[in-house]
Structure 1
Amino acid sequence: MTRFEFIVDGPPVSQQARRRDRLEAWKTTVRQEAEKYWSSEQKTATGLVMLQITYFYDSVEIDVDNIVKPIQDAIIGLAYVDDKQVSDLLVRKRNLSGNFKVKDMISTLGQGLDRGKQFLHIVVIDAPDQEVLT
């Protein structure tokens, strides 16, 4: 694997959701959206990976730490064999009405921004060198 990315319409459902059926429905949605972007040439990662999640919200924001686990679980067996492979994690939230700049616009991210409503941009890439901390 070098890079796998996809977008999912938001808002995300927190791991702390009281209604478990809502959480399971969210995981199913994430998986279905990921599968739409998965190509037959891609291979499920067997080594360490880095997971990057950016939540672009409009009015409702949730804590970034609560959105990670459902997404990690939803793409097991697709992007990677087991979520224990996630050695690095970058989670951000950005207000769609806010002032931010996108460097190196990727078409998938552009698709999400063009929709004009809240969404998540999720990227799985090979983990950085484990012997170097920056």
Structure 2
Amino acid sequence: MVTIFELLLPRRPVSLQAKRLQPWKAYVRAEAAQVWTTSPSDADAFRLTLVYLCNTSPVDIDNIIKPIQDALETVVYPADELITDVDSHRRLFTEPFDLTSLPILLIQGIAQQQECVYVRVQAGTAQPLQNYL
């Protein structure tokens, strides 16, 4: 898969059930539109990867996926049903990080030590299921 989009959202993510959901989605969409300035990719399949960096009292990782996925729709990819794979990870700043192979934006998020979400979208055909299990 080819990485087509990366973004660092330097804020605490909002859960799918939060009252502040629509402003969060608008923020994510606006940030994405600043980075992705062309038409949505015409790929047939996408993989979404999220890394949520936090301190204590983190938001549930499963509840932050859909708002971000929805916000990127029509900006980065034409429709979220084209996403075949989602990887989401939550890591505390107190954990050790091997910075040698991480993307630059993720390293920046770690260095800032403020809650943030690293977002990566890759285009391409999904791998066979056995590669994930």
Q: CA deviation at 1:119?
A: 0.4
1:55–1:92 Cα contact (<8 Å) kept? yes
Structure 2 counterparts to residues 84-103 of structure 1, below 5 A: 84-103=81-100
Q: Distance in 2 between matches of 1:105 and 1:96?
A: 15
What SS does structure 2 have at the residue aligned with 1:74? Answer: helix
Which residue, out of 25, 28, 42, partners 1:30?
Answer: 28
Aligned residue pairs: how many? 130
The AA in structure 2 aligned to 1:2 is V
3-state SS in 2 of match to 1:27: helix
**Unaligned 5+ residue runs, structure 1?**
none
Q: Deviations over 1:51-77 (max 9, x none)?
A: 000000012212111000000000101
Q: How far apart are residue 39 of structure 1 and its match? A: 4.4
Q: Is the 8 A contact 2:45 2:124 kept in 1?
A: yes
State the 1:128 CA deviation.
Answer: 4.6
TM (normalized to structure 1)?
0.85
In structure 1, what is the equivalent of residue 69 of structure 2? 72
What is the aligned partner in structure 2 of residue 46 from structure 1? 43
TM-score using structure 2 length: 0.86
In 1, the alpha carbon distance for the partners of 2:57 and 2:30 equals 23
* Shift, 1:107, TM fit: 2.1
Alpha-carbon deviation of 1:101? 2.2
Across the aligned residues of Structure 1 and Structure 2, the Cα RMSD in angstroms comes to: 2.0
* Identical pairs, percent: 30
Q: Displacement of 1:46 after TM fit?
A: 3.2
Q: Can you give the 5+ residue segments of structure 2 that lack an aligned partner in the other structure?
A: none
Deviations 1:69-115 (A, max 9, x none): 00000010111100001100100000012223234232222222232
